Structure 1
């Protein structure tokens, strides 16, 4: 629904702005420019989708091997002590606990195909403990906010899009997105914890929170001690090293557990290939709408309006071109992806604007979609504090994205 409104709105606004510019004589050729923009954007969408095919085929095949070899189960065991503190009062051994841990672990590894079914199962299992059906419990509120914040360890789709857009080092956004998404999760969790008055002084919980903060903060601090021209290279090296390490870990697990890695890889690769092909209509549709809107002058008006509001912050002017992605992300992931692609096409994949758009895209999940999906699956009518807490998480993630962009790419 949100994407339909956005898509139609872009066309109608473009039509109105184009007509106004033509009638006033501001741009007699605006309709020709809009028509040409639609063809150019359609070609770009198709070319980007084809460029994604190889990366998605490879990575989804590798992730399938990791899933079959038990990587998700191992992560689930490691995360289990933490989730017991985040969801206090959940009965020991309840099926919801396993489903939530599986959801978090799958999100960390970029296994969207495993994360969503596990999330839906978790919500349904939590509903069996709900004394007031139709109203979200504390556990359901926490789970939806954490999923909407979505800590991202391997931003595979964003790196694939950067590669397809001609980025020199597609993995250079790895560490910045990890830190930005961690800010989102921390903001969402702490907000819900304050609302629910959770015990934050628990040693295990403190250990996890402080440990994560120390690792990420220490990593950024070490990088900041490097000459500025080496920070980007160090982030790229770290990201690619962790990705290769994960691949070797998955293959080693498959070997130890006698999984036929090749056959599993082929099955996953076929899924990746189909996923890439299925993206073509979506990418073409949204990029054409954005392209027509830009050609009508609408994007320039939007960017100038935003810049007038945020100039006092000291942000570089190049940041403004990424604001449409930020504004769209909580509403529609597909539209935000299209705006990210448009920013990279317009300003360059390795420009400050293009990279910041990628960071904003990866800093959090699509808030309204997650809430609608999970609450609708079990018929929740009252989601209580989910939306405000999830929006706080979004703001924290966006602030983290801006900070990382200023540190790494300015």
Structure 2
């Protein structure tokens, strides 16, 4: 219900603002909101050639393609004058994201189809893990901890192994693997959910822990920083880990208090201490490496582990081939069945993702997001917050809505202020330390047709705020 109302609010408010801007004369056309593409110039005016300044008119007539570019504002795209059919069209600024119709197309071609391919492959592997018995063994080994965090889940339930693989993939920055494992976990949890259209306690806990974004190897962030010319692209890795870890602990405590979980459990405390020790150990190891060593380690660890998971699944399935025979199938046929289920899941979640991304596109292109972010930056600056911090806030504000959008702001901030600036580094931490909340809600709850998300959305947004505040303190401490 909360998600539905929020979706309606951002959709309707964006439409009202677009129409108001058009009739108030603040914008010349709204076509870019519907048909424009990201980084396209925006049409701001159209005049007869006699109405423009003489020096521009003369220059246009002399230009071979009858266009002229004036560098009026170094912070924005150049203003372009295009003469055609007796009028001069004036373009200035660039579009922040794809319009409504291109978003519909790109959601299917650039997001859902690749996601369906990942789902098909990893759901095929998950089917092998299920039939071979590997997932059952993993669930049995981790049950003592998981039954404390998820008291409503029966001991040795298959969802435990799926959630473990999802957390591990997120931890190692394996986004392509994390989503299929997570969707399989939601599907498994839905089987024991007594109210099928309402999120269970276990599903909410899983979603909030997943969305807190605990990551050890921020491979993509390191890549963006390297491309932007950072002196040490991996220098934000430790701040990212600290910020995301605090966000994960905050999510666990907030949801745990709501669900009255026993935090004094010995197995729970032991697991938490083991996780902290593992993180500290890896950080100490990475910290003693030189720049080349860090880059080599961060670029290979995640890939090696993913290859290891695939190899283990196939080898274990081969060893346990008799179980496939008993199930009247073969290893390959079982993989195909799992892959087919993955494709079906992709088809199921497409409408949920489409609805959310179209609303976000309209919201961004309407200009409302820029107004809100500018006001927030203004408030923070008047509170004495450094301009270097306020310049990075657009990444934090957009991150819950769109990973691609916040990534664009991240790259822009590094190009504008420098990859090694406080703004560039803080933007990197913002991008790394949280999930795209509304996208995650749409994908995961949509995959099992959950209509009432209860307090999941509010908790995830609160964790996002905690991550933002933590990131500011951590970045100020380190840099």
Same fold (TM over 0.5): yes
1:147 to 179, 203, 206: 206
The 3 A distance-change label for structure 1 pair 407 and 120 is: farther
- Is 1:6 matched with 2:6? yes
Distance 1:189 1:296, change over 3 A: closer
Residue 215 of structure 1: how far off its partner (Å): 0.6
Offset, 1:148:
3.7
Q: Which has the higher contact order (CA 8 A, sep 6+)?
A: 1
1:128 corresponds to: none
SS at match of 2:434: helix
**Residue ranges of structure 1 left out of the alignment (5+ in a row):** 126-139, 327-335, 378-382
Measured against aligned partners, the alpha-carbon deviations of 1:131-159 in whole angstroms (never above 9, x if no partner) come to xxxxxxxxx96x5663243358999xxx9
TM-score, reference length from structure 1: 0.66
Of the structure 1 ranges 316-325 and 261-270, higher mean CA displacement relative to structure 2 is found in: 316-325
Structure in which a larger fraction of residues adopt helix: 1
Structure 1 residue 297: Cα displacement: 0.9
Number of the residue aligned with 1:26:
26
Contact 1:322 1:340 in 2 (8 A): no
1:325–1:361 Cα contact (<8 Å) kept: yes
Aligned residues: 358
Bigger Rg over Cα: 2
Whether 1:219 and 2:289 are equivalent positions in the alignment is no
Within-5 A mapping of 1:121-140: 124=194
CA distance in 2, matches of 1:247, 1:241: 10
The reply on whether 1:52 has 2:115 as its aligned counterpart is: yes
Secondary structure, counterpart of 1:361 in structure 2: coil
The 1:51–1:112 alpha-carbon spacing in structure 2 relative to 1, beyond 3 Å, is closer
Task: Give, in whole Å, the separation in 1 of the partners of 2:284 and 2:373.
Answer: 33
Alpha-carbon distance in 2 for matches of 1:3, 1:194: 22
Name the CA shift for 1:65/1:176 in 2 (closer, same or farther; >3 Å).
Answer: farther
Match of 1:81 in 2: 144
Q: What 5-or-longer segments of structure 2 have no aligned partner?
A: 36-98, 167-180, 228-233, 325-329, 415-423
User: How much does 1:321 deviate?
Assistant: 2.5
How large is the Cα RMSD of the aligned pairs? 5.0
Q: How does 1:235-274 map to 2 (within 5 A)?
A: 235-258=298-321, 259=324, 260-274=330-344
Task: Say which is worse superposed, 396-405 or 294-303, in terms of deviation.
Answer: 396-405
Question: Is the counterpart of residue 304 in structure 1 residue 374 in structure 2?
Answer: yes
Question: Taking structure 2 as the reference length, what is the TM-score of the superposition?
Answer: 0.58
**Cα distance between partner residues in 2 of 1:401 and 1:245:** 33
Give the C-alpha shift of residue 198 in structure 1: 4.1
Q: For each residue in 1:290-313, what CA deviation from the matched residue of structure 2 results, as whole angstroms up to 9, or x when unmatched?
A: 222222211211222333355627
1:97 and 2:97 correspond: no
Pick one of 297, 303, 324 that aligns with 2:398: 324
User: Which residue is equivalent to 2:297?
Assistant: 234
Distance in 1, Cα, partners of 2:309 & 2:185: 18
Please identify which structure carries the higher strand content: 2
Residues 378-389 of structure 1: pairs in structure 2 closer than 5 A: none
Separation (CA, whole Å) in 2 of partners of 1:177 and 1:121: 35
CA distance in 2, matches of 1:295, 1:375: 29
Shift of 1:58: 1.9
Question: How many angstroms does 1:213 deviate by?
Answer: 0.4
Q: Describe the superposition over 1:28-70 as per-residue Cα deviations: whole angstroms up to 9, x where unpaired.
A: 22x1221222233223222213333333322222222223222
Partner residue in 1 for 2:44: none
